[in-house]
Amino acid sequence: MNVTFYTSPAYSHTLSNWQTKTEMVSYVTILLLVIIWCRIKWNRRFIDRFAAKIPGPPSYPIIGSGLEFVGTSHDVMNNFIKLNEQYGPEPFKIWLGSSLALNVTKPEDLQIILNNSNAFDRGKLAELMSSAFGEGLITAPIPKWKVNRRIISPFFNTSSINKFMSIFNKKNATFILNLQKELGDSETFDIWNYVNSVSVNSICEAALGYHHDAQDKNISEFIDSMKKITEQINVRLIKPWLYPDFIFNIYGKFTGLNQLYENLFKFPEKIIKERKSQYAQRKKTNHSSLNLTNNEEKQRPIFLDLLLELNDEGANFSNKYLRDEVVTMMIAGSETISINVCFCILMLAIYQDIQDKVYNEIYQIMGESDRIITIEDTVKFVYLEQCIKETLRLYPVTPIIVRYLQDDVKISNYTIPKDTTIFIPIIVTHRLAELYPNPLEYNPDNFDPEKVVNRHKYSFIPFSDGPRNCIGQKYAMLLMKVLLATFLRNYSVHTKYKMSDIKLKFELSIKNADGYQVTIRPRDRKPIYKI
């Protein structure tokens, strides 16, 4: 039986109109997409032409070279070093989604880039970090960075830093006492928490006037939150599909990021509130704004007080501005020092002969006395400084510097087009065999003065270089010297670790995946060998 469906002319006409409109919308949409694509390709024509000439790993739509960075933070670090072994030391490209990054390692090229005003911007990395830690000195956009740098610089001049010696000695005395619980135990322990507590408490008192000590719950919560947030930023950095804020916000809801931010900011905001109250009280009692709460503090500046003074003089810093600078100060003033000191202690535990030489230098300067270390002593710790620098060579805390070009920059063999991201893998430059013979060996003699003078200045840049270098490097070096000298005066350090056991992981800063496992023994304050 045949069945015939009747369709009214009105319905057919409506359907035809709907189909026509749908087709029109489709054609217009496709046309707009083609126009947008053509515009993007036109705007990117210089980058695409440049990229076509540069070698690099395979790239795929949307994810770019993302497959090269799949895995754990240890895998990411390992794969990145392998890419440099495969394509370096000449510049090579890495696609971050649809954005071009150029990997540059040669010192002569690094000098050009790090001193070029068109390469001061830190690009996407700064954006990702500022979304978590705010716009402090490290992450601030260029105009704000210039202002912040000018304000903060006086706090880190040599005269100011030398006044922190009493804090360093006091915190290190506590460090030595805390380590006593590890004596007599044949089992190794991770020295990280002990070292980190010294660096965190030192920066809290030196920069913020916060006097509470090691077991402070507020500090512990801040450190824990910082660690977890850093892990999330690292995940986002190596996965370009998480770059859009709306996608990362969804991702953040599943990982509890909002609560972590709240915990991170709680401590800095508490310090700011307390310091503001103390500052206002001092003004009420007709004291000078620099007249601090005790005689010791009168002799040295406190970073947060300087900001409050400028605020009082019309700077109009918001609470967020103050908080961002406090967070940046705490992170930069603790993480860098803790990582390098722990790596240095591990190196000295592996290389007992080098440890003996360092101890002998300390004994020659300090003798058997219990006197505290002075500024004059730290200048004489020459071989110890070489050990610190050699540790920074092998394990630079920030293994990769990122820059974003706001205009073309010419290096030795290429003119790099603007809108290119530059990767400067310090860890790779520091391990170039033409600069450092046997580059994977720990050898403090690499920093004998006669060897240093024969190398390019930019062959060793653990604190970056150029106008946007690390403003706190003198502070870091002084505290590291005091901390290591105090530790080695009191304890010898040992480990079952070998160099081949070290597994680097990358979480914005570089760390050993298994921590820093050592044992310690008390010193008898005698020279190891005849001086």
CA distances from 9 to 6, 13, 23, 492, 528 (A): 10, 6, 21, 97, 106
CATH number at residue 204: 1.10.630.10
Q: Is 287 within the bounds of a domain?
A: yes
Residue ranges making up the domain that contains 316:
39-522
Question: Is residue 270 a part of any domain in this protein?
Answer: yes
Phi, psi of 24 (to 5 degrees): -60, -45
Burial class (CB in 10 A: 0-12, 13-18, 19+), 241: middle
Domain assignment of residue 298, yes or no: yes
Q: How far is the C-alpha of 165 from the C-alpha of 55, rounded, in Å?
A: 50
Establish if 10 belongs to a structural domain.
Answer: no
- Residue 137: which of 302, 329, 296, 338 has the closest Cα? 329
Q: Cis peptide leading into 58, omega within 30 of 0?
A: no
Strand 421-425 to 99-103 pairing: parallel
Q: Dmax over Cα atoms in the chain, in whole Å?
A: 116
DSSP string of 44-95, one letter each residue: THHHHHHHHTS--S--BTTTBTGGGG-S-HHHHHHHHHHHHHHH-SS-EEEE
Q: Contact, 182 vs 495, CB < 8 A?
A: no
Q: Which residues contact 65 (CB under 8 A, 6 or more apart)?
A: 56, 57, 58, 59, 94, 95, 96
For residue 422, give the 3-state DSSP assignment: strand
Q: Of the candidates 154, 160, 159, which has an alpha carbon nearest to the alpha carbon of residue 309?
A: 154
Q: Answer whether residue 4 is part of any domain.
A: no
Residue 449: both structure tokens together: 């003065």
The verdict on residue 155 lying in a domain is yes
**Would 375 be classed as within a structural domain?**
yes
Number of domain units in the chain: 1
Q: What size, in residues, is the chain?
A: 531
Q: Give domain status of residue 530, yes or no.
A: no
Per-residue pLDDT of the chain (531 residues; tens, 9 = 90+): 555 555 566 556 565 666 676 777 777 778 777 777 676 666 667 788 888 999 999 988 878 888 888 888 888 889 999 999 999 899 999 998 888 999 999 999 999 999 999 999 987 767 777 777 778 778 888 888 888 888 888 888 888 888 899 999 999 999 999 999 999 777 899 999 999 989 999 998 988 888 765 456 778 888 888 888 887 777 777 677 777 777 877 877 777 777 788 888 888 888 888 888 888 887 777 555 444 445 555 556 688 888 888 888 877 788 888 888 888 888 888 888 999 999 999 999 999 999 999 999 999 999 988 899 999 999 999 999 999 999 999 999 999 999 999 999 999 889 999 999 999 999 999 999 999 999 999 999 999 999 999 999 999 999 999 999 998 999 999 999 999 999 999 999 999 999 999 999 887 789 999 999 999 999 886 655 443
- Which residue type does 161 have? I
